[in-house]
Every structure is written in C-alpha cells, then in structure tokens.
Amino acid sequence: MPEFATDGGPTAARESGSPGSVEPPGSGGAGAAVRSEDPPGSRDATGPASPSSGQPVKFYQVGSFAVGNRLLDPSYRTVQSDALRTNALDSGHRACQGCGEALGARYALDAAMRATGGSMVAVNATGCLEVFSTPYPESSWRIPWLHSLFGNTPAVATGVAAALRVKGRPEVRVVGQAGDGGTVDIGFGCLSGMFERNDDVLFICYDNEAYMNTGVQRSAATPPAARTATTEAVGDEPGNPFGQGKNLPVLAMAHDIPYVATATVADLHDLERKVERAMEIRGARYLHLFVPCPLGWGAAPRDTIRLARLAKETGLFPVFEAEHGVVTAVSQIRRQVPVEEYLRPQGRYRHLFDPADPDGPPARPETVRRIQEIADRNIARYGLVGPAGSDAPGEAGPSDPSGRPYETGEAR
C-alpha cells in the first residue's frame, strides 16, 4: 500500500532504495509537492492521494526528488514502473554499470513507445549506445532500429520520416538519437538541416559530455576543466580549456522548432512527461538528455543518478522546455548546491582538488570559481532559483497541469 497521509499534514516519504537516500532524513527540507487542489488538466481524478478532506498532500523526499511510483495512483506512475513497458532497449546489452545513456535511452524510448502506441522507428548514430546495444545477432532493440553513420543520423531520420509520409503511414513516428559527439559536433550540420526543414523527427541527444565510445575524448559538449583523453589534466591549465561552449538546446531554439526540452536521468517523471509532450507534436523536436558516464567521468556507477541531479541542482545543467524558440517552463533548483559538490565525486575533475586532502579546499580554487560562475550565469539566465520565499516546499511554482510532481517557472 502506498504510504501517504490523508490528514493534510506534510508527510515525509522516503523512496526506499533510492540512490539519493544516503542523505540523512530531513536534511533537505525540500520535496516534491502534489497539491490536490490542482486537479490534473487532462485527467478526471483529483490527483494522487486525493483525500476526502481536500487538503494538500505533500510528499517529502530526502535525497531523491522523484516521487516513488508506489506512492502514486497507478495512472500517474512512470512508464518504467509498468511491467508491460516496451523495453525498447532490452536487458542483456553491454553497457557499463551505471551507464546513464542506457538508462536515458530506455526511459525515453519506452515513454515514446507508449505515447505512439508502439508505432515507432529509431535511427541511431554511431557511438556507445549503438555499440553496446548490438552487435548482431544480439540486438537489444525491440523496435525497428537503423544505424547508418556517426554524423548523419538526423538526415537518415528525415529520410525515414519522408518515406513513412509518402507511404501513407503518418502514425509511425521517428526518433533519431545520438550522443553529444554525434549531435553537437559531427552531426550538427544534418541536425540543423532537419530542424530548419521542421522534419517530423524527435531527436534525442544523450549528452555525457565527451566521446566515450572511442575512449573519452573531448567533444564540443565537454565542460571546462574536465579531463578527457585529448584534454589531459596536465600543464598549467589542466583539463578542457574554458571556451565559449556550444549550447545545443539554445541552438535548437534558434531554429524556432516547435519543441525543445532538456532533462536528466535523475528525474524520470519529468523526462517521460517531456517525451510524451514531444510525441504530441508534429515537426522537429529536440530533447537534450543529461546522462552521466561513470567510465568517462571517473565516477562511481552508483552515483549516476546523483550526479545527474547535482548537475541540475548546481545550475550547471539547466532543465527547461521551450516551444517555438521561447522558454515555456523551467525546472527550478530545489536546494542549490555549490558546484564543488558536483565536481568532487568525479575523477575528471580530480586535478581541481588536493589528492592528499580530497575533502579539503580546492587545489585550484580559481578554476572552481569559474565553473561556479557558469552555474550562476545559468541560474540567472534561466531563473533556476525562484524569488525569495517561493522555494518553500510545495510553493516553488505552479504544479504541472497533469498533476505530476515537477516545477515550472516563468517563461524568460
């Protein structure tokens, strides 16, 4: 039985087994809120845990911001919690332990499969996802799946979409997917063309911030100071130089395509909802999904979800949605944390800290400060932290119209 109170008082509910549950109970004081007075827009229910009293029910979580599925009315549970989910990317593949991309792909594609009634084709770029999910005959794909090349995935997806249109099969939807290399670097020309033509494709970038398949080399999505095999942690400025960055979600928005969203594997509800939203729309759509890579980042496999969450909570990875080039919703930071908290657990930033005293002050405080500046800039630019007083539990912003636990902010 779901444990939630119906007497109106805030009820702390820990998601047992959640990777985030290592933090002491109550330390955060923040939690997902579902207010029963905000009935779901499209559903007839009064929301999960609808008490006869009509009092708001608040789920407080510690460490994890995802409301446990078991606390929710079945109709609000995630696709992943459904035993009958597609398993578009089936088990038995060869991804590393804790692979964020494998999680992200399964989450996203299963959600897309549900949204399309199982009528979907996926086109995949060369990369980790392609390599670990095959080789023949051990394909993990339970959906029609095509791999052509590294840099042409958006164009191949366009071709599939064109063929389906000309064949009179508009119900079959097309998803293109690539890592950050295949999206931000080598695939960008084709992606921009696909956006500009507004081809009916959802393109998902699984961003793990480097070329992991080939052995962790730098991509245009690699953040400053991160160590990769081509930005080694040696010399006066170890790791990736501070550059201008290449913000693909914003570049996607610059094409005025109908839908752009960012998400992380740390928030399954949010991710699934965005995929669902994307599949409601025709035309070019872009989902930039933040997927930690334990191997490439020198992080513990168990920290994948935690790092994804920290990327958002530091402000380093803004989570938002945009339609036709305008930001329509921002997932606000619940409990802002300094970037140090995100950097420390990752081997790729090891050179920023003192090996003799890993918990002590940064060995390169200036670099950490500059990374913090990036986070602060994102916070300001996207309004990731609400006005004072608005971040009280349950008051962070209007609830998701569907009644699901997520936050929105003003369009900026």
Partner 1 sequence: MLRQIEGSRAVAETVALCRPEVVCAYPISPQTHIIEAVGVLVRTGALAPCEFVNVESEFAAMSVSIGASAAGARAYTATASQGLLFMIEAVYNAAGLGLPVVMTLANRAVGAPINIWNDHSDAMAVRDSGWIQLFAETNQEAADLHIQAFRLAESLSLPVMVAMDGFILTHAIERVDLATQEQVDAFLPPYEPRQVLDPADPVSIGAMVGPEAFEEVRYLAHLRQVDALTAIPAVASEFAEHFGRSSGGLLRPYRCEGADTVVVALGSVLGTIKDTVDAMRDDGLAVGVVGITSFRPFPAAAVREALAAARRVVVVEKAFSIGFGGVLSTDVAMALTGSGTPVTTVVAGLGGRPITGASLRECFEAAAAGRAEPLVFLDLNRSLIDRDLERSSARRRTGPTAENVLRDLGTVASGPT
Task: Give the nearest distance from C-beta 263 to partner 1 in angstroms.
Answer: 25
Please identify which residue in 6, 18, 81, 134 interacts with partner 1, judged by CB under 8 A. Answer: 134
Cα separation of 335 and 54, whole Å? 28
Task: Give the nearest distance from C-beta 150 to partner 1 in angstroms.
Answer: 8
- Of 154 and 292, CB closest to partner 1: 154
Task: Give the nearest distance from C-beta 47 to partner 1 in angstroms.
Answer: 34
Q: Is 215 an interacting residue with respect to partner 1 (CB under 8 A)? A: no
Residue 387's alpha-carbon distances to 219, 305, 392, in angstroms, are 35, 27, 10
Q: And the tokens for 214? A: 């080939």
Cα separation of 216 and 293, whole Å? 10
19: left (phi over 0), alpha (psi -120 to 50) or beta: alpha
Please identify which residue in 85, 197, 246, 381 interacts with partner 1, judged by CB under 8 A. Answer: 197
Please identify which residue in 9, 54, 135, 241 interacts with partner 1, judged by CB under 8 A. Answer: 135
Q: Is 162 an interacting residue with respect to partner 1 (CB under 8 A)? A: yes
Closest by alpha carbon to 270, among 238, 308, 296, 300?
A: 308
Please list every residue from 163 through 182 that binds partner 1, using CB under 8 A: 163-168, 172
- Of 138 and 280, CB closest to partner 1: 138
Q: Is 193 an interacting residue with respect to partner 1 (CB under 8 A)? A: yes
Cα separation of 257 and 285, whole Å? 6
Cα separation of 339 and 224, whole Å? 13
| Helices 100-115 and 268-280, axial angle in degrees (round to 10) | 40
Stretch that binds partner 1, among 20-28, 38-46, 157-165, 285-293 (CB under 8 A): 157-165
Q: What is the pattern of x (binds partner 1, CB under 8 A) and - over residues 92-131?
A: --------------------------xxxx-x------xx
Output the DSSP codes for 171-198.
TSEEEEEEEHIIIIITTHHHHHHHHHHT
Residues in touch with partner 1 (CB under 8 A)? 118-121, 123, 130-131, 134-136, 139, 141-149, 151-152, 155-168, 172, 189-190, 192-193, 196-197
